[in-house]
C-alpha cells in the first residue's frame, strides 16, 4: 500500500511539472498582481511632500550623510547643495539634483542614494474614538487606520466613509465593511454619522 501511494504522488508531481512547463512554453501570462487605489504599487512612484523624512547617503561623505525632513516650503535643506526642491518629486529626482549640485566644485564624482525613513502622517476624524494625526506604515489599510483611532463610535456610518488623498480636492466614498482599502501617506479619512 505505501508503495502504491508513492507511485500516485510521483505521477501527480510529474503531471503538474509538465503542465507548468507547457504553460511556460506557450507563453501563458503570469497572474497579474492585484493593485489597489493606493498601497505599495502606488508607493513605487511616490512623490514626496512636507512631513516626509528621508535618509540621504553620500558615499564617502559621512559628514553630510543623514536624515532630512521635507519642510513646509517643500524643500530639503541639504549641506553644500542648498534648498533642494522635494515636494511633488520622487526620490530619484532628489538624488540627481544633489549629485549635480555637489559636483559643482564640492565633491568629485558624488554618488548619492536616498530612502524614506518616515512617511507623512494620515489624518482621521469624525465618528472614531480618538480622531487625530497618526503615523503612516507600509500596507496600511482603512480598517487598520480606524483601529488605530480606537474604532468607530456607536453613531458611525460604516458604509459611508469619506477618503481624500493628499493633493486632491474631492473626497471619495468607500464602504469600510466591503474589504481592505489601501491608504497612502497624507490621506484624510472622515467617518460620517449614520442616521437612525
All domains of the chain in start order, with CATH: 41-118 (3.30.1950.10), 122-193 (3.10.560.10)
Decide if 185 contacts 166 (C-beta within 8 A): yes
Residue 41 has a pLDDT of 45
Residue 44 has a pLDDT of 62
Residue 57 has a pLDDT of 96
Q: Give the closest residue to 85 by CA, choosing from 95, 74, 96.
A: 74
Residue 177 has a pLDDT of 81
Cell of 22: 507547457
- C-alpha angle 119-120-122 in degrees, rounded to nearest 5: 115
Per-residue pLDDT tens digits of the chain, which is 196 residues long? 455 444 444 444 444 444 333 333 333 333 333 333 444 445 667 899 999 999 999 999 999 999 999 999 999 999 999 999 999 999 999 999 999 999 998 899 999 999 999 999 999 999 999 999 999 999 999 999 999 999 999 999 888 899 999 888 899 999 888 888 999 999 999 999 887 6
Residue 196 has a pLDDT of 61
Cell of 120: 507623512
Residue 64 has a pLDDT of 94
* CB burial readout 39-60, b (16+ within 10 A) else e: beeeeeebbbbbbbebebbbee
Amino acid at each position: 500500500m505505501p508503495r502504491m501511494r508513492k507511485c500516485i504522488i510521483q505521477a501527480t508531481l510529474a503531471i503538474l511539472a509538465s503542465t507548468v512547463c507547457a504553460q511556460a512554453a506557450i507563453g501563458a501570462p503570469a497572474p497579474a498582481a492585484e493593485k489597489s487605489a493606493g498601497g505599495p504599487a502606488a508607493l513605487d512612484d511616490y512623490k514626496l511632500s512636507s512631513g516626509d523624512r528621508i535618509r540621504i547617503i553620500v558615499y564617502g561623505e559621512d559628514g553630510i550623510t543623514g536624515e532630512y525632513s521635507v519642510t513646509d516650503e517643500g524643500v530639503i535643506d541639504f549641506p553644500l547643495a542648498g534648498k533642494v526642491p522635494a515636494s511633488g518629486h520622487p526620490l530619484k529626482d532628489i538624488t540627481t539634483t544633489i549629485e549635480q549640485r555637489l559636483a559643482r566644485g564640492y565633491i568629485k564624482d558624488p554618488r548619492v542614494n536616498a530612502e524614506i525613513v518616515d512617511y507623512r502622517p494620515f489624518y482621521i476624524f469624525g465618528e472614531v474614538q480618538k480622531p487625530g494625526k497618526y503615523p503612516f506604515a507600509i500596507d496600511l489599510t482603512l480598517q487598520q487606520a480606524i483601529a488605530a483611532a480606537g474604532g468607530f463610535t456607536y453613531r458611525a456610518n460604516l458604509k459611508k466613509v469619506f477618503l481624500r488623498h493628499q493633493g486632491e480636492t474631492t473626497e471619495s466614498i468607500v464602504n469600510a465593511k466591503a474589504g481592505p482599502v489601501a491608504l497612502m501617506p497624507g490621506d484624510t479619512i472622515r467617518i460620517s454619522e449614520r442616521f437612525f
